[in-house]
């Protein structure tokens, strides 16, 4: 999953970064079942739901399949790629990308939501049922509003299809996180801290989705920096930006000599480097040459990787 930054460089960047204006936090939905100090999430009898953003009815919808709140991302042009001194070669060149409208899940898919697909017989249970520090994680009601983890790319893709959505492209993910300006983090240019993200191992494990309203992206999308890495649709190719289309890019056709898929956003263990909106992580995805009884057929999973979905209408 890559990338370690020397301690001295991290200190330099922390001193150099400038704070950006805090984006508008989402509003709470009626009658929350449980609350965090920053935002709230309700639960329906059928599914875990997500916090209602500050938006108009035309830009918010609730999935009938799993109760996920989805936010409308307007068509527009986004600067994609590294824009700061921490940029890596696979983030270059920075380039303009124009995207059509789409919808993005406001938060990461939760244990409670994913369990609906498992109960329907279409999704496999997570590869392992623990989190980094909790042995009894998936299936435990205490953590139903926490992100589902230990999910392979294959499993995330199946879930999004079941939910009548899809995995977002890498370009869609970056637009939803960055908006129309050249910010380095979803919330602006301030480095990750305990107010805007679950990062730097401050908590030491995943947290309840939507717990960091101060970390909202310009479109109100939450948890795009920290908590868990997120699978996106694209194969990973470190040179892809050199040949990427400028309109609605969907990634390379294959992973060439590997089956790597892109992951985005960083995790609860990661620091300012991996939480940048331009940072490109990767992990092994499905190998279609293998058999369904082989782990490689599905790809790898991790306590640090989850996902969210998107769709076109």
pLDDT in tens, 147-184: 999 999 999 999 999 999 999 999 999 999 999 999 99
For residue 267, what are its two tokens? 């995790």
d(CA 144, CA 206): 12
Listed in sequence order, the residues at least 6 apart from 155 whose beta carbon sits closer than 8 Å to its beta carbon are: 123, 124, 126, 298, 301
Is pLDDT larger for residue 130 or for residue 2? 130
CA distances from 59 to 53, 56, 128 (A): 9, 5, 36
Strand 102-105 to 310-311 pairing = antiparallel
d(CA 277, CA 184): 6
252 pLDDT above the threshold of 90:
yes
Average pLDDT rounded to a whole number, residues 77-94: 95
What is residue 1's predicted lDDT score, i.e. its pLDDT? 61
Domains, the chain, ordered by start:
1-313 (3.90.1580.10)
pLDDT tens digits, residue range 103-121? 999 999 999 999 999 999 9
The two structure tokens encoding residue 126: 């997570």
pLDDT > 70: percent of the chain: 81
Quote the pLDDT of residue 58: 86
How buried is residue 153: exposed, middle or buried, by Cβ count under 10 Å (0-12/13-18/19+)?
Answer: buried
User: How high is the pLDDT of residue 121?
Assistant: 97
Contacts of 120 (CB under 8 A, 6+ apart): 162
Nearest Cα to Cα of residue 194 among 148, 229, 220, 225:
225
pLDDT of residue 2: 57
Please provide the average confidence, as pLDDT, over all residues in the chain.
Answer: 86
Comparison of pLDDT for 257 and 65, the residue scoring more? 65
Question: What per-residue confidence (pLDDT) applies to 238?
Answer: 94
Looking at residue 36, what is its pLDDT?
35
pLDDT, average across residues 8-30: 36
Res 312 pLDDT > 80: yes
Least confident of 38-47, 60-69, 229-238: 38-47
Give just the sign of the alpha carbon dihedral 137, 141, 145, 151.
positive
């Amino acid at each position: 999953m890559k990338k370690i930054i020397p301690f001295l460089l991290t200190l330099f960047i922390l001193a150099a970064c400038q704070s950006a204006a805090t984006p508008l936090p989402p509003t709470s939905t009626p009658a929350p079942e449980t609350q965090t100090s920053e935002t709230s999430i309700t639960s329906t009898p059928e599914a875990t739901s997500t916090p209602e953003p500050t938006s108009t009815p035309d830009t918010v919808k609730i999935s009938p399949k799993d109760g996920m709140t989805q936010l409308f991302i307007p068509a527009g042009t986004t600067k994609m790629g590294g824009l700061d001194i921490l940029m890596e070669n696979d983030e270059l060149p920075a380039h303009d990308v124009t995207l059509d409208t789409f919808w993005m899940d406001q938060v990461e898919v939760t244990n409670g939501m994913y369990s609906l697909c498992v109960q329907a017989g279409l999704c496999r249970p997570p590869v392992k049922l623990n989190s980094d520090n909790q042995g009894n994680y998936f299936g435990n009601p205490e953590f139903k509003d926490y992100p589902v983890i230990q999910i392979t790319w294959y499993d995330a893709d199946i879930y999004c299809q079941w939910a009548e959505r899809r995995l977002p492209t890498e370009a869609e993910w970056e637009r939803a996180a960055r908006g129309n300006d050249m910010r380095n983090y979803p919330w602006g240019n301030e480095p990750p801290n305990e107010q805007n993200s679950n990062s730097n191992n401050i908590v030491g494990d995943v947290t309840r989705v939507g717990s960091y309203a101060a970390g909202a992206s310009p479109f109100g999308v939450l948890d795009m920096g920290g908590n868990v890495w997120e699978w996106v649709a694209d194969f990973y190719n470190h040179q892809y930006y050199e040949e990427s289309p400028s309109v609605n890019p969907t990634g390379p056709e294959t992973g060439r000599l590997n089956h790597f898929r892109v992951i985005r956003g960083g995790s609860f263990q990661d620091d300012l480097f991996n939480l940048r909106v331009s940072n490109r992580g990767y992990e092994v995805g499905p190998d279609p040459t293998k058999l369904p009884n082989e782990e490689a057929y599905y790809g790898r999973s991790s306590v640090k990787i989850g996902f969210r979905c998107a769709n076109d209408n």
